[in-house]
Amino acid sequence: MPPATGDGFDIVEATVAEIHAAFEAGERTAAALVDRYLARIEAYDDDLNAILTFNDTARKRAERLDERFAAEGLVGPLHGVPVVLKDNMDTHDLPTTAGSTALSGSVPDEDAFVVDRLRAAGGVIVAKANLQEFAFGVDTISSLGGATRNAYDLGRRPAGSSGGTAAAIAANLGAVGMGSDTCSSVRSPAAFNDLVGLRPSRGLVSRRGLVPLSSTQDTVGPITRTVADAARILDVIAGYDPADPVTATGADSIPENGYTAHLDPDALEGARIGVVREFFGRSSPASAPAAAAERVTAAVEEALDEMAAAGATIVDPVEVVDADVLAGARVLRYEFSRDFDAYLAGLDADLPYDSLAEIVGSGEVAPAVAERIRESDILDSLEQAENVGYLRSLDRRRRCREATVARLVETNLDALAYPPSAVPPVAIPDHQPFVEMRCELAAHTGLPAITVPAGFTDHGLPVGIELLGRPFAEPRLIALAYAFEQATDHRRPPDRFGTLV
């Protein structure tokens, strides 16, 4: 990898707009930018353990973009922008492993839909990031990559399953990142690493080429340092894909002027934000000390006060759905093995295993992940089409969605607000408690949600606040999140990963 160079342009916290301004001013080339990010990965990833695979062709790709820039200017909205992908998104030129040694030799024939869109927009894939193996859990531990660490405290978890992407973007090892979200996997890592994480409405972004965990709950979303960059990525990846028919439901909901057109610094003025009070506070005394959970609550309470100061009406509390019905709407246990095995069958690769059960039985899976799979009865699920429990959970999803949308409409709310996790990052080797993740409302309704930095605990740990909106209301959520971000400026880079000289 190339050494760092000092040339006056500091990539730490650089946004896409700032990168493009540097290109246009002649202060930076795409190739030199890639060099700088690769140098940061080389210098800092031993501490984070966030990266699984480097893209050895990234610089050549950037050089070709520089040639095109000289002839025609920016080729797209992500021209020359270094992207870190979660390693459960298919790439034709790099392994796609889902963090598992069992898939270490798997190089798919085609890019995932979102990867193809990112490249077409000019993005440069610089690396693929570690994740919770198979995206099943919230620690970010895998047999291939080991454990990723939190960028703000290396002794703590980064959440998961997209913790590698989040830690990398927080430490400025890439300009923007991509994660996937089955329940908490984009939003909690973003919150734990002082970032923006967006879970789109089900049907807005294609899942083609994503190593599946649950076809009903899975989606792909950006993990970025700013709301503007998240909106820019959504502009690129949203759209209809014939290979994923559910995207037909969102095709007519994409704004003609794009999502970046909705970055309104005054959007909180007159907005109505409902507080889901039942999502505050820890669910189990075993999860974390009471004082730790109280620090999260205090930060989110202050964020709500800041929203009110920016002109929002805070409606507190708002009851949404019955907790038992919401918990019973989880379909992952019925879909994981089925969907993963179908993915394996579609690979044109000589892999040693044909099913999730074979991989788990091989002993290759990280012990904490394998234990969780066994305890969940995923490998023992009945045939899904004949499973009454599965059908009941699907019906509960419908009921939760209808009830949540009705409450938003009846109370004239722009969004619901709550903490993405009721407790802060836990110390390694403890496991981040899933029971404290407040991810299920978005995951089980298919409604959009965005997490934005909300401040820090008095121990220096990042806290996020999550906003959930109506179906395909991403423009309004982006506007609200942007207004909050601009009013508060809670994003702060981690001290340990400063400018290279």
Q: Which three-class secondary structure state does DSSP give residue 238? A: strand
Rounded to 10 deg, the angle between the 290-309 and 474-488 helix axes is 100
Domain that holds residue 134: 16-488
Whole-angstrom distance, CA of residue 60 vs CA of residue 430: 42
Q: Tell me if residue 60 is catalytic.
A: no
Answer whether 0.95 is exceeded by the pTM: yes
pLDDT score, position 3: 38
57-103 pLDDT tens trace: 999 999 999 999 999 999 999 999 999 999 999 999 999 999 999 99
Question: Is 301 a member of any domain?
Answer: yes
pLDDT score, position 501: 77
Q: Tell me if residue 161 is catalytic.
A: yes
346-359 pLDDT tens trace: 998 789 999 999 99
Tell me which of 86, 188, 201, 337 is the catalytic residue. 86
Give DSSP secondary structure letters for 374-406.
HHTTGGGPPPGGG-HHHHHHHHHHHHHHHHHHH
5-21 pLDDT tens trace: 445 689 999 999 999 99
Can you give the CATH number for the domain in which 214 is found? Answer: 3.90.1300.10
pLDDT band at residue 382 under the 50/70/90 scheme: low
411 touches 318 (CB < 8 A): yes
Question: Is 134 a member of any domain?
Answer: yes
Question: Is 202 a member of any domain?
Answer: yes
Question: Is 2 a member of any domain?
Answer: no
| Averaged pLDDT, 263-268 | 98
Whole-angstrom distance, CA of residue 432 vs CA of residue 330: 19
152 touches 77 (CB < 8 A): no
198 touches 65 (CB < 8 A): no
Question: Is 204 a member of any domain?
Answer: yes
Tell me which of 180, 185, 188, 421 is the catalytic residue. 185
Q: Tell me if residue 214 is catalytic.
A: no
Q: Across all residues in the chain, what is the average pLDDT?
A: 96
217 touches 182 (CB < 8 A): yes
Question: Is 250 a member of any domain?
Answer: yes
Give the bridge partners for 124, in sequence order: 82
Whole-angstrom distance, CA of residue 443 vs CA of residue 501: 43
Per the structure block, which two tokens stand in for 354? 């044909």
Tell me which of 100, 106, 161, 215 is the catalytic residue. 161
Q: Which three-class secondary structure state does DSSP give residue 349? A: coil
Question: Is 149 a member of any domain?
Answer: yes
Question: Is 412 a member of any domain?
Answer: yes
156-172 pLDDT tens trace: 999 999 999 999 999 99
Three-class secondary structure assignment of 258-283: CCHHHCCCCCCCCCEEEECHHHCCCC
165 touches 148 (CB < 8 A): no
Whole-angstrom distance, CA of residue 154 vs CA of residue 162: 16
Cα–Cα nearest to 30, from 39, 40, 20: 20
For the CA atoms of 110, 111, 113, 118, the dihedral, rounded to the nearest 10 degrees, stands at -150
Indicate the number of domains in the chain: 1
